[in-house]
Amino acid sequence: MWTKKDLQQLIKDKMGEYLFIVVSNRQPYVHVLKKGKIECQRGAGGVITALDPVMQACNGTWVACGDGEADRKVTDKQDKVKVPPENSAYTLKRVWLSKEEENGFYYGYSNEALWPLCHMAFERPVFRKEDWDYYVQVNKKFAQAVIEEVGNNKAFIWIQDYHLCLLPKFLKEMAPNQLIISHFWHIPWPNYEAFRICPQRKEILDGLLANDLLGFHIRYHCDNFFDAIDREIESKINRESFSIVRRGHETFVRPYPISVDFAGISEISDSDDVLKAKGALIEELGLCGLKVLLGLDRIDYTKGIPERLLAIDRLLEKHPELKEKMVFLQMGEISRIHIPKYKALNDEINALVEQINWKHSTDSWKPILLMRRHLSFHELLAFYRLGDICIVSSLHDGMNLVAKEFISSRTDEGGILVLSQFTGAARELTDAVLANPYDREQFSEAIFTALNLPEDERRKQMVKMREVVGHSNIFRWAGKILSELLKFEFKE
């Protein structure tokens, strides 16, 4: 089993004098002002859940956008700050975007064009020429920040996600012999029928082919990528070595299913702080004596939150005997709220909760509690620990790390996972109760099945899933990618 130590050893043995730089849009830590004081919070989302423990083990530099109100107050002249605050394990270098850049690059091209393009959630992508121009401009800005950091050194660069498709190409143009570049794509890669509508498809593929190594969660996404290349770019696809050669440069493409820090989460979940936080949440929310069903997501239309609420509604229609015996606790941080579809989704969720609660509530009970506050890491684990069932109902998801975090937190071997069959995680977590979020009857039945699962069966499922996540943990994911990356040699 890969451990944090194995990863550290790999870096120590193989990284040598070279720099190690991770690049993403979202920063791992944000500095905010709370009652006039600066507070450092860990960011949300899959990239951070996965990469923060890796970076804490590797002591590299992470380049990302600064967006917190107090971010500039804590950075030095080179825009750097050590994180996390408790142990300063690595360096965060912040890139600053103007309002216009944030709007065009992040809200616009990344999240109104590429995000819906890659997820089959039946939301139409919006391609605006001006958003694309900002996307190009910000990718160049990231390239400058990375090159500034590299200086005269040689460096291994590890780029994250769909915000930075053009970065590999810009970097290779700026420092052809100094960089070995890998890129991990954290969301699905669509099939060609979906991808071909993108007006900038050739530029995107061209940018990604500057990588030396390109990773997706599952083999199916790699195959979709090969199809796109086959149809759009003159190149040689080598199915045996799983690589693409174009103009003398070879890009290796590989599936690497992402995961979480199983051992770290397991250990903290047993701590007194987490147990105390669990007690506090039970009291605050009045959960004592109730079966607790959990949902935890960024408020995003790919996560199937309305579908989940409607399944709870159906469950209570069919099984009114569950009233006053269970509660569904949905935790959700507001996300990308300046995009009209996200705003509309937020309103839809509020209205649905209102409607379902009105329909089923009694004098002393309501079925759904919606919470939007930021959870500290300890509170997050406490939240997982108080659930009898965790429901993940994504309409389409590259992997879904909530499912893996929930499993990792359950050292008590308690809890059941109801998991959408449309997540990458469903391919590994075959012992979860699988559900189709589009099928309200089946979905509500799956929740009912989970509620009635015999104790020994439930425990058996959790033990098996803990084995899977324990083995395929985040250090294995990072170790596999970095082992491959460190085999590349710099050009002379």
CA gap 462, 416 in Å, rounded: 7
Scan residues 149-168 and list those touching ligand F6P (CB under 6 A): 161
CA gap 451, 113 in Å, rounded: 39
Concatenated DSSP letters of 347-375:
HHHHHHHHHHHHHH-BTTB-SEEEE-PPP
Taking the complex as a whole, the smallest distance from the CB of residue 329 to ligand F6P amounts, in Å, to 21
Helices 219-232 and 201-208, packing angle to 10 deg = 120
Contact in structure between 108 and 134 (CB atoms under 8 Å): yes
Residue least distant from ligand F6P (Cβ) = 45
Q: Which residue lies nearer to ligand F6P by CB, 111 or 235?
A: 111
Q: Which residue lies nearer to ligand F6P by CB, 185 or 252?
A: 185
Taking the complex as a whole, the smallest distance from the CB of residue 316 to ligand F6P amounts, in Å, to 31
Q: Which stretch binds ligand F6P (CB under 6 A): 42-50, 209-217, 263-271, 308-316?
A: 42-50
Q: Is 335 in the site for ligand F6P (CB under 6 A)?
A: yes
Among 3, 6, 18, 45, binds ligand F6P (CB under 6 A): 45
Taking the complex as a whole, the smallest distance from the CB of residue 184 to ligand F6P amounts, in Å, to 10
CA gap 205, 233 in Å, rounded: 8
Contact in structure between 322 and 316 (CB atoms under 8 Å): yes
Contacts of 358 (CB under 8 A, 6+ apart): none
Q: Which stretch binds ligand F6P (CB under 6 A): 39-47, 203-211, 441-449, 479-487?
A: 39-47
**Biggest CA pair distance of the chain:** 76
Taking the complex as a whole, the smallest distance from the CB of residue 45 to ligand F6P amounts, in Å, to 3
Q: Is 346 in the site for ligand F6P (CB under 6 A)?
A: no
Place of tokens 């979480």: 260
Among 187, 253, 403, 474, binds ligand F6P (CB under 6 A): 187
Residues in contact with ligand F6P, counted by CB under 6 A, come to a total of 11
Binding mask 199-238 for ligand F6P (x = CB under 6 A): ----------------------------------------
- Is there a cis peptide before residue 84, judged by omega within 30 degrees of 0? yes
Q: Which residue lies nearer to ligand F6P by CB, 178 or 394?
A: 394
Q: Where are the alpha helices (DSSP H) in 109-248?
A: 115-118, 129-150, 167-174, 192-195, 201-208, 219-232
Q: Which stretch binds ligand F6P (CB under 6 A): 34-42, 43-51, 233-241, 429-437?
A: 43-51
Q: Which residue lies nearer to ligand F6P by CB, 8 or 335?
A: 335
Phi, psi angles (nearest 5°) of residue 314: -65, -40
Q: Which residue lies nearer to ligand F6P by CB, 45 or 255?
A: 45
Contacts of 165 (CB under 8 A, 6+ apart): 114, 139, 203, 204, 207, 208
Taking the complex as a whole, the smallest distance from the CB of residue 235 to ligand F6P amounts, in Å, to 27
Among 7, 47, 54, 277, binds ligand F6P (CB under 6 A): 47
Taking the complex as a whole, the smallest distance from the CB of residue 48 to ligand F6P amounts, in Å, to 6
Phi, psi angles (nearest 5°) of residue 155: -145, 145
Q: Is 257 in the site for ligand F6P (CB under 6 A)?
A: no
Nearest to 193 by CA among 224, 234, 162: 224
Among 21, 31, 46, 482, binds ligand F6P (CB under 6 A): 46
Contact in structure between 491 and 176 (CB atoms under 8 Å): yes
Scan residues 14-33 and list those touching ligand F6P (CB under 6 A): 26
Given the rule CB under 6 A, which residues bind ligand F6P?
26, 45-48, 161, 186-187, 298, 335-336
